Structure 1
Amino acid sequence: MAAFAKNEPDSNRAVEMHRATALLGGKKVLQHSLDEALDVHEMLLQGLPLAALTHLIDNLSVIHKTAVLEKVVGMTLLTFRRHKYSPKPLNQAQSGRAWKFAVILSRATVVFGSQAEAERWMEHPTTGLNQRRPIDLLATAVGAGLVEDFLERLEYGVYA
């Protein structure tokens, strides 16, 4: 299995990739076998099926789906409802943002011990992020990177 990033072991990234895949409905919903990062890349180029986003937001227990749609994916609730039964996939930008959210949520779940705790953390201002809510930072690639970096520091016990 190919590495997701050169500096992390294959097994860690593979587990993270499979957790993110499960949050999006797994192979049944995604209609792709995701064995390595290039598989994810190809799937995102084609666009995630709207059913994957539906599966993700339907399985959130704390975060309101409007916040995920608007802040994380960049789609209004009205647009989501209008396209809910359309066979048209998400565009590349929305697909990439939904995937990134699934990856970050899966990592936060590991760090905090449960998905509900991870979601609660994402909804509250965090000292290590200048009192910003992690979910608000996910609107941009730079903000998502800040959240990922902070989670990595938490995971390894480095808070500063």
Structure 2
Amino acid sequence: MTQKRYQDLTETLGKSNFPEEIDNPMDFLSAAQEGIAIYAVQNFREAFDVSLGQVAAILDTSEPTLYRHLKAQQKLSRNASIKLLEVTDLFLYGMEVFGSKEDFFKWMELPNTALGGLRPMALTEVPEGISKISDLLGRIEYGVYS
């Protein structure tokens, strides 16, 4: 991840939602360890036009549980924080590769033969799915047939 992507990530999720600056991989892990403020979820939803249900599925929780966390102003757990950071980075990278949010999210909803016919968006919910999508975006970025 580049310095610019770290900046984009924290701006997207809201700098005030992080316990410290994120500008290297260790800061990324440290922020997740402490837990990111739940309001980062709201910023994520607004930035990428996703529903609370979609965020809940990505974070492997239920919508009512996520809503309760929002109401109680609780921090995200370590695992949910890591997942939110990873998915945010993935979405920013995808928008960079495709040149627009609209084109990227259209691609995310289409079945992809390189992913065994699965929709990339569906893989955001499973372990290792984000890395598979990121690898595929890298291939697209460098013109490798995918």
State if a TM-score over 0.5 links the two structures: yes
* Structure 1 position 21, deviation (Å): 1.8
How many percent of aligned residue pairs carry the same amino acid?
A: 25
Shift of the alpha carbon at 1:29?
2.8
- Structure 1 residues 95-131: Cα deviation after superposition (integer angstroms, max 9, x where no partner): 1111110010000000111123222222221222222
The alignment status of 1:40 with 2:28, answered yes or no, reads yes
Tell me the distance in 1 between the aligned counterparts of 2:109 and 2:35. Answer: 27
One-letter amino acid of the structure 1 residue matched with residue 51 of structure 2: H
Deviations 1:37-79 (A, max 9, x none): 2111100001111001111012223x43312321x11121111
Partners in 1 of 2:111 and 2:91 — Cα distance? 16
Aligned pairs, number:
146
Q: 5+ residue gaps in structure 2?
A: none
Is the Cα contact below 8 Å between 1:128 and 1:159 reproduced in 2? no
TM-score by length of 2: 0.90
Q: What is the CA-CA distance between 1:91 and the residue it aligns to?
A: 0.6
- Structure 1: 4+ residue segments shifted above 6 A: none
Whole-Å Cα distance in 2 between the matches of residues 121 and 64 of structure 1?
18
Uncovered stretches (5+) of structure 1, i.e. residues with no partner: 5-12
Cα distance in 2 for residues equivalent to 1:124 and 1:67 = 16
RMSD, aligned CA: 1.6
